[in-house]
Structure 1
Amino acid sequence: MNQTINDQLKHRTIREFTDEKIDEATIKTLLDVVNMSASSNGMQNMSIIRVTDPKIKEELAENGNQAYMARASELWIFIVDLKRNYEIAKELGVENDVMISFDKFIQGFTDAIIAAQNLTLAVESLGLGANYFGNIHNDTKKVIKILKMPKLTYPAVGVGFGVPNQDPQIKPRLDINLKTFENSYKTYDSYLEMIKNYDQEMTTYYDLRDAGRKSESFSSQIIKKQGKTIKNRNKMFETLIDQGFVLNPS
C-alpha cells in the first residue's frame, strides 16, 4: 500500500495547531495543487479566499460557533465563483442567465469541494493536519458580508490547516457495505439492527471537540444533528437569490 493511501486511511480532523507558520513555498505548492484540481467542463467556477487577518478569523469563528476556527494556522474559504466567467462573457457581449443558473452553481460548488479535498490530501501528505469548516453555512449572508463577496459568488466550505497540536483518535465510520451498492440501491428491514455494532463502537470513541468525553451512539446523533435546523441555515436559498443566481432560467 502506498503512502498516499496510508494517509487517507489515517485521516483525522485536527482542530488545534501549533504556532508554527506554514512557509510560503509550501503555500505556493498547495495553491498549485488546488489549481490542478478537476473542474466540471473545465470552467473552473471556484475561487479561494485565504483568510490571514486575525480579526476576520474571529468573526468567522463567532459566526460558525467554533472558537478553534480562529486558531487555525491557515484558513482557506473555498467559494463558488460564477462572477469571473460571467464578466468574461459580458465583455464579449454574450452573457445570459444560463451562465448563472442553479446548474452552473452546482458545478461550481462541486469544483470547490473537489479542490478542498485535494488541498486536504496534500496537506496530510506533508504531515500537517486539517479541518473542514461547514460552519460557514450557519449564516452565509454574514460570511458573504465579512469576506466582501460580490454577487455571483457563494461560500462552499472552509479548510483550516497547520502543524497538529493534538493527537485525536480516528473517528469510527459506518461499515462500507452499508454505503456501497451494486447496480441499484439496497434497503434493509431494520437499519438499527444493521448499525448496532457501530452504535456501540461510537459510544467508546472519545471526541476531543467535546472536552474529550465519550461520544453518543450514531443513531442518537441522527436526531441531534440531522433532525434539527441550525439557525439561519434554512435561508441558504434566499441567499443564493440575493447573490444573483438564477434558479430557473428561461
Structure 2
Amino acid sequence: MLNETIKNQLAHRTIREFKAQKIPEEVFAQLMEVARRTATSVGMQACSIIRVVDQELKNQIAGICNQEYVARAPELLIFIVDQYRNSQIAKEKGYQAETAKDMDRFFQSFTDACLMAQNVVNAAESLGLGTVYLGSILNDSEKICELLKLPQLTFPVLGLGIGYPNQNPQLKPRMEMRLRVFENAYATFENYLDEIKTYDEEMRTYYDLRDPGRPMDSFSNQVVARFSQANPRRQEILNIIRKQGFNLNIK
C-alpha cells in the first residue's frame, strides 16, 4: 500500500524551470528544520549549507554549471563538507584536531551532505515544490570555493535548486532493479546489452524537455558518450580537496 510519501518519491522528476514565485520564508524554514534533523555520522553534524541569494553570484555559479537555468532557481543551495566548524570548537577547547583533515572525516561530511540534500528534496516535493540536483558545481570546484569564500576544511558537494515547477517533464525510465540489487554478493551478467535491451528501447522513446521534439538516445549509447567525455577541471578535484586542507594520505 502506497502512502503519500512513497507516491511523491516514485513520481520524482528533475525540474529545471520554475515559476517566478518565491518560496515563503516559513516554508524555507521548514525545509531547513528537515535538514537540521537529518541523520549525521557519529552526531558531528559536519556539513553545512550555503543559501545563495545574490543574483550575480547565482549567475556566476550558473556559468560554472554551464546551465543557464540555475540562475533562475528561486532557491539555490550549496551543500558543503564542513570540518572547519568542529575543528574550531576543538581548538577553542585547547585541542589541535589534526584528524579533522583526514579522509575519514572528509567522507563522513560528504555523506552527511548527500543525506541532508536528499532529505530536503523529499520534504520539498511533499510540499508541491520541484527540485534539481546540481553536481555540475564541481565543474570548477576551486572557483566555487573562491566564490563562496569557503575556508580550509570545507568543500562543495552538490547544489540544489528549489522552486514551484513551471514544467511537467515525462517520468524518466529507469533500468530494472534486478541489475542493481543483489543478495549477499555482487552479481555479474554474461551480456549486459542483452540484459538492458528493453531498457534501451524505453530510453529511445523518452523525451527530455531540454531537447524538445527529439527522443533520447539508448542508455547504452549514453554510457559510451559519457565515458568519452572528460572535464579537465573535474580531474583536478583531489588536488582542490588537498588545497582546502584535507590530507588525502595517498600512498
Hey, what does 1:177 align to over in structure 2?
178
Partner of 1:46: 47
Let me know the Cα RMSD of the aligned residues: 1.1
Distance of 1:157 and 1:29 partners within structure 2: 20
Please say if 1:244 is aligned against 2:248.
no
Residue 8 of structure 1: aligned partner: 9
Q: Is the 8 A contact 1:139 1:231 kept in 2?
A: no
2:84 corresponds in structure 1 to: 83
Q: Percent identity?
A: 49
Aligned partners of 1:97 and 1:246 also within 8 Å: no
Q: Match for 1:3: what amino acid? A: E
Runs of 4+ in 1 over 4 A off after TM superposition: none
1:209 counterpart SS class: coil
Instruction: Encode CA deviations 1:176-233: one digit per residue, 9 max, x unaligned.
Output: 1100000011100000100010001001000112245211110111111134222300
Aligned-partner Cα distance in 2 for 1:28–1:56: 22
- Three-state SS of the structure 1 residue aligned to 2:109 is helix
Instruction: After TM superposition, list the pairs within 5 Å mapping 1:90-105 onto structure 2.
Output: 90-105=91-106
The 5-angstrom pairing of residues 1-250 of structure 1 reads 1-248=2-249
Q: SS of 1:131's equivalent?
A: strand
> Kindly tell me: are residues 31 and 212 of structure 1, through their superposed partners in 2, closer, same or farther at Cα, counting changes over 3 Å?
farther
Secondary structure of 2:70's counterpart equals helix
The size of the alignment, in residue pairs, is 249
Cα deviation, 1:50-94, whole Å, max 9, x if unaligned, reads 001110110000011011111111000000000000011111122
After TM superposition, the structure 1 stretch with the greater mean CA deviation from structure 2, 203-212 or 4-13, is 203-212
Flag structure 1 segments of 5+ consecutive residues without an equivalent. Answer: none
Calculate the TM-score normalised by the size of structure 2. 0.97
Tell me, in whole angstroms, the C-alpha distance in 2 between the residues paired with 1:126 and 1:226.
Answer: 37
Q: Give the Cα separation in 1 of the matches to 2:122 and 2:230.
A: 30
